[in-house]
Chain A
Amino acid sequence: MRILITGGRVIDPSQEFAGRADILMEDGLIKTFARDKKLKGEDLSGQDRIIDAGGMWVIPGLIDMHTHLREPGYENKETIRTGSLAALHGGFTTVCAMPNTNPVNDNPGVTEFILKKARAEGNARVLPIGAVTKGQTGEELAPFYMMREAGCVAFSDDGRPVANPIIMRRALEYARGLDALIISHAEDPLLSDGGVMNEGLLSVTMGLKGSPSIAEEVMIYRDIALSELTGGRVHIAHVSTMGGVRVIRQAKERGVNVTAETCPHYFSLTEEAVSGFNTHARVNPPLRTHKDVEAIKEGLKDGTIDIIATDHAPHSRAEKISRQFDDAPPGISGLETALPLSLALVELGVLSEMELIRKLTQNPAKALRIDGGTLREGMSAELAIVDPQRRCVVEAGENFISLGKNTPFDGMELKGAVIKTIFREKVMEWQRA
C-alpha cells in the first residue's frame, strides 16, 4: 500500500527542512520526500491513499525517551497496549519504557517480555530502558551487556536516584565499555528527605514536607563530575530547577558530553498547581517556582536542555483522588498533552518550530543513538499530522487513551492537536472535540 501526504507544511529537523513538501510512503517506508515539486497522485491505485494535509504540519513521529508503561506488574495503571496507543494519540511513534516495573527490568528476560508484547500490539515502537542496579536498589549493577543484546537502549534507576556515588561511578565506567547511556534521576535522597512538593513558602503554609531544589542541583553536579571522571555518558532526566540548568550549562561550556531533558509540566506550571492539595499536581521532581520555569525555558532556548520528554507516569484514579497528598503516588499522565504544551513554547517565542520538533525527535534519537525521528527517504514511515491552530480542552476522563487520567491540565484549553499518526502501515485518525 502506498500513502501520499500532500499540501502540508513539513518540519523535519534531521534534514534542516521546514516548508511545503509532499511525502510518499510505500510498505511502511518513506519512499519519496519531494521538497519542491508536487507529487501527482495519478499513478496511485484504488487501494492507495491520498491524505490532504493542507493547513497542517507534518512532522516526524515524536520520540519520548522517558515513559512509564507500568507493565509488567502495574497493569491497573497502564499496559503496554494502552500506553503505546496513548503514545500514538499524542504523536509519539517511539517510547522508551522505564524499568521500574514489577519485576524490575533488570534482566534480559523482562526486556524480552516487554519487546515481545510491544511487537504483538504493533502500536508505536517500544524501546526498553534497563535498570542500572538489580531491583533498582542502588546496590549491585544489572547485567548491561546481556540487557543491551536483549534490546535495552539505555540504563536508568529512574524513580529513584543511584544514591551511592561509588555505584554510580562503577555504572558509568562499566557502561563506557558498551557506549551505553546512563540516565540520571538526579535527586539527593538525603536532602530531599521525603519531601512531597517544592520546598518554599507554599510547602511551609500547606504543612507539606518540602524537597529543596538543591537536592536536584547537587546530584546533577555529582553525576556530571562522575561522567567527566569516567568518560561514561550521562543524561539528566526531568530537569526542574534553575540551579540544575545552571550546572548543566556550565558543564557544556567546558565541553562535557552531557545531555538533558525537561518535561512539559516543568515549563508550563509552578508549584501553585498543588494548592488545595491537588494530588494531580504531585510529581517527582516537584513543580517549582516561576523563576525555575523561566530558567527551564532559557535552558531550552540556549540548548542547555536538549530534549523534551514526557515522564508519562500514569496512576489509577483511586490512587490519586482518594488518598491524602503525601500518600498519593507522584506522576502525571503526559503522553497525550505533551505536544500541545510544547507548541506553546513556539507561541511564546522560546523556540522556533524547527528547534521544538528537534527536541522531540532528532535530539532524543541522537542521545540514545537510535534511528527514527526523521522523514528521510528509506526510513520507517513514522510521522504525525498536526493542526497547529486547533484548540482542544483536555478531558482526560473522556479523551485519554492512557489508563492514567491523572493530569493537572484537565479542563485546560490547549492549542495544537495531533490529527493523524502514521506508524509504518497503520494510519490512526483521531477524533477531536
Chain B
Amino acid sequence: MASAGGRHLLGIKELSAQEIMLYLNSAGSFKDILKRDIKKVPALRGRTVVNLFLEPSTRTRTSFELAAKRLSTDVINFSAPSSSILKGESLLDTALTVEALGADIIIIRHSSSGTPHMLSRHLKAHLINAGDGTNEHPTQALLDAFTIKEKKGGFEGLKVAIVGDIIHSRVAKSNVYCLKKLGADIRLVGPATLLPEEFSELGVNTTSSMDEGLDGADVIMMLRLQLERQGKGFFPTTAEYFSQWGLSRKRLEAAKRDAIVMHPGPMNRGIEIASTVADGENSVILEQVTNGLAVRMAVMYHLDERKDQ
C-alpha cells in the first residue's frame, strides 16, 4: 500500500488525512465481506491477536475480538479481573509476557493516558489503542467517520456538533482530530466545566448553548455522561443536565431534517439522549456498531502489512 503509516495505531493525532482515508476505504471492502454468507477471510491466518483490556469494556473488546476472528487470527482475551496485574505484576511485564507468547497485534485499553505510547517504546508487536484514559480512542473515531461518509458522502464543510463531557471524552477528542483533518466544520457543545476554552485553539467552535450548537447541523454526536462527575462539581444534577444538553425531539428540530444522530454507547437514556431520539429515524447508533467491525478489520489488516518499519 502506498501510504506509509506507522507500525501502531496510537491515536488519530499521529495520522495524516491520507492514512485516515486509507482505513475508511478498506473498511468499505471489509464491510462487503461482512454481508456475505461466509463472513471470514484468511487474510491474517496464523497471526495472534491479544486483547489486553485493563479497564472494563464489553462492547469494544467484543468488536475487536470478532473483527480479529473474521480475519482468521487466533485471539486471546486478557482482561483486568483475571489478569496478573492484580497480583502486582507491572503493566509492562504483563505486556512483555503477552508478547513472548507470540502476540503479533496487541490491543490495549487502559485508564491512563499515554499507556500505548509507553508500551510502544518497549514492544515489537503492533499496538492498537482501544482507549487510553482521556486521550484518544482512534478506532471509534474511524468508525464514526466511516459512518458519516456512508451517510453523507463526504466531510468537506459538513456541520458536526459534538455534545457533552468533552474534556473527559477520548471519543470526542479523537473525533475532533479526525473530522478536522477531513475538513468538517465542528462545534463542541457542553457546560463550560466540561468544555475548556482551549478547544477553540484547535480551530473548532465551542458553545454552551445547545440551540446554537445544533443549528443547521448535519451530524450530532452525543457523548456518554460519566455520572460520577456530578459529585465533583462539574454539573449539579442529571435533570438540569438533560434540560440543557440532553438531545430531545424538540432540540433535534434545530438541526437539518436529515441530520444523523450518533452515540458511541453505552447510552444513558433520559440523561444525555431521549429514547425517542435514540430509537428514532435519525439515529444511526446501531449501524455504528456494525461499522466498528469493518473498521477494526481494516486497521488490523493494514498494520500487519507494516512489518519491516
Contact = CB atoms under 8 A, between A and B. Distances in A.
A327 B110 CA distance: 12
Given A277-B117, A321-B121, A205 B173 contact: yes
Interface bin, chain B: 20 to 34
B198 A325 contact: no
Interface in A302-344: 321-327
A215 to B, nearest CB: 16
Contacts of B91: 323-324
B118 A205 contact: no
A207 B201 contact: no
Interface in B159-204: 167, 170, 173, 196, 198-199, 201-202
Contacts of B136: 207
A204 B122 CA distance: 26
B175 to A, nearest CB: 13
A277 B113 contact: yes
A251 interface: no
A337 to B, nearest CB: 23
A72 interface: no
A379 to B, nearest CB: 49
B133 interface: yes
Given A322-B90, A324-B112, A207 B117 contact: no
Given A205-B13, A206-B135, A207-B132, A277 B199 contact: no
Contacts of B173: 205, 207
A325 B132 contact: no
B121 A326 contact: no
Contacts of B288: none
Interface string A107-144: 00000000000000000000000000000000000000
Contact of B118 (A201, A206, A207, A324): A324
Contacts of B113: 206-208, 277, 324-326
Contacts of A208: 113-114, 133-135
A277 B173 CA distance: 17
A218 B280 CA distance: 50
Kindly name the residue among A200, A201, A321 whose own CB sees the greatest number of chain B CB atoms within 10 A: A201
A276 interface: yes
Contacts of A276: 117
Nearest to A202: B198
Interface string A86-115: 000000000000000000000000000000
A405 to B, nearest CB: 16
Nearest to A276: B117
B115 interface: yes
A33 B110 CA distance: 63
A324 B201 contact: no
Contact of A204 (B114, B115, B121, B198): B198
Nearest to B134: A207
Interface in B97-132: 110, 112-115, 117-118, 121-122, 132
A324 B110 contact: yes
Contacts of A279: 118
Nearest to B113: A207
Given A322-B90, A324-B112, A326-B133, A204 B117 contact: no
Contacts of B202: 201, 205
A207 B90 CA distance: 22
A323 B122 CA distance: 11
B95 to A, nearest CB: 10
A325 B111 CA distance: 11
Contact of B114 (A200, A201, A277, A321): A277
B76 interface: no
A350 B46 CA distance: 63
A206 B114 contact: yes
Given A207-B134, A277-B113, A325 B167 contact: no
A327 B112 CA distance: 8
A326 B112 CA distance: 7
A325 B113 CA distance: 7
B118 A204 contact: no
B286 interface: no
A204 B167 CA distance: 7
Kindly name the residue among A200, A323, A324 whose own CB sees the greatest number of chain B CB atoms within 10 A: A324
Contacts of B122: 322
Interface in B194-217: 196, 198-199, 201-202
Given A207-B173, A324-B91, A277 B118 contact: yes
Contact of B133 (A200, A204, A207): A207
A323 to B, nearest CB: 7
B43 interface: no
Contacts of A323: 90-92, 118
Given A207-B135, A324-B113, A326-B112, 4 more contacts: A207-B132, A277-B118, A323-B90, A324-B118
Of all A-B residue pairs in the complex, the 5 with the closest CB atoms, nearest first, are A207-B135, A277-B114, A207-B113, A324-B112, A207-B134
Interface of A: 200-201, 204-208, 276-277, 279, 321-327
8 contacts: A201-B198, A201-B202, A204-B167, A207-B132, A207-B133, A277-B117, A323-B92, A325-B112
